[in-house]
Structure 1
């Protein structure tokens, strides 16, 4: 497979906090349609790797490329629309769930996109929810409901890569499976891929075609 065939490539990434190195020289290649599972013990910095890939934290060393171009070549705002990180505890803004979904379209980087309530309704139905779900204040949602809202908020922006940090940690078993089905359906579209962390190793095995074992730094 040629370099141009990869959606995302990372080479030689390193993470250190307060002078303590968590991991170093991490590299990965992500292909269209692929789910890459990150596996390692708790506290080894899986979240920090996802945040670096999403450019929410600075890249301390090494480089990242999306479609063989650096984030700077895309411009950072555009890169972040193509590679979206979802936290285990996502930020929900004041206002209703509907207002939270509409908020991204007020940003200049999304000015050419239009909010599609019909598509949101389809996704909600797949997750066992109705439009009433969007009438509730976002700040009153449970942890699992906030994860659902954040996923829909990301999907509607049509990213190429989702960086999912424990995306079903607060969901019940039935909703977890429904969300997995929705994610796999999304991956059937051209040029979509995902990197996933989960404490549920069976979920990693169900969803991912390959795994990256993040090794703690050994001085």
Structure 2
């Protein structure tokens, strides 16, 4: 089956105080892609992901979704299909279930509904049961909060995940749990989904990605197939 291009960045450039932070970045993300983004701290990886998620402005260049520019009035819908996941989960008040239900109160998701059974099934993948939903979110460990952040995103059935070092602050077991959740989301519809995963862990990048891009000083330096 021929892969369809979902997301295209064309000559994205960002400058701040005379410094070029993104330098003429061009990349395509097609269905089925599992793309790793690696490089030293400060090379522009997080800024690129946030720009792709329309969370940061660019000075020039184009961002295309399914080969069409994203209009201003389409940004909310776009962000429901292309979801950015931060390396540290946001803090919320209330139970885990309350936190997971919150996105469905937004206008963009009012045609969807919270599926508790689906969530419980996902939790079983990472050795949690339904009682986890009753825990206060503010009392979760870093790994547990990141599990919730990922479930909060993937329950909306996005086409693309932009994963900004989602396991960087976690122990090995918690990191593997996060990987399991992402892999299950991807494997449920590999012909229509894709992700970009920023990682500082070479073994993780090789494990969860099929191809790798190395960034340095705001530029794409190399592209290669993962082992």
2: distance between equivalents of 1:144 and 1:199?
17
Contact 1:23 1:215 in 2 (8 A): no
Q: What's the TM-score, normalizing by structure 1?
A: 0.92
Task: Return 5+ residue gaps in structure 1 as ranges.
Answer: none
In the aligned structure 2, how far is the partner of 1:81 from the partner of 1:115?
15
Quote the residue 1:78 is aligned against.
77
Maintained 8 Å contact 2:85/2:163: yes
CA distance in 1: counterparts of 2:106 and 2:98, whole angstroms = 13
Instruction: Tell me, in whole angstroms, the C-alpha distance in 1 between the residues paired with 2:214 and 2:99.
Output: 35
Alpha-carbon distance in 1 for matches of 2:6, 2:133: 33
CA distance in 2, matches of 1:34, 1:136: 35
**Which structure 2 residues correspond to residues 32-71 of structure 1 after superposition, within 5 A?**
32-71=31-70
The TM-score with structure 2 as length reference comes to: 0.89
- Cα distance between partner residues in 2 of 1:181 and 1:97: 19
Task: Tell me the residue number matched to 2:164.
Answer: 165
Q: Which residue of 2 aligns with 1:192?
A: 193
RMSD of aligned residue pairs (Cα, Å)? 2.0
Q: Which moved more, 1:150-159 or 1:202-211?
A: 202-211
- Post-superposition Cα deviations, 1:15-37, rounded to whole Å, max 9, x if no partner, equal 32333212301111111111111
Deviations 1:31-73 (A, max 9, x none): 1111111111111121111100000111321111111122217
**Contact 1:33–1:193 (8 Å) recurs in 2:** yes
Runs (4+) of structure 1 moved beyond 6 Å?
none
Which blocks of at least 5 consecutive residues in structure 2 are unaligned? 220-227
Answer whether contact 1:88 1:167 (CA < 8 A) is retained.
yes
Distance 1:37 1:18 in 2: 29
Q: Name the CA distance, whole Å, in 2 between partners of 1:86 and 1:193.
A: 14
2:88 and 2:169 in contact (8 A); partners too: no
Q: What secondary structure, in the 3-state scheme, does the structure 2 residue paired with 1:29 have?
A: strand
Matched, 1:211 2:220: no
* Corresponding residue for residue 101 of structure 1: 100
How many residues align structurally? 217
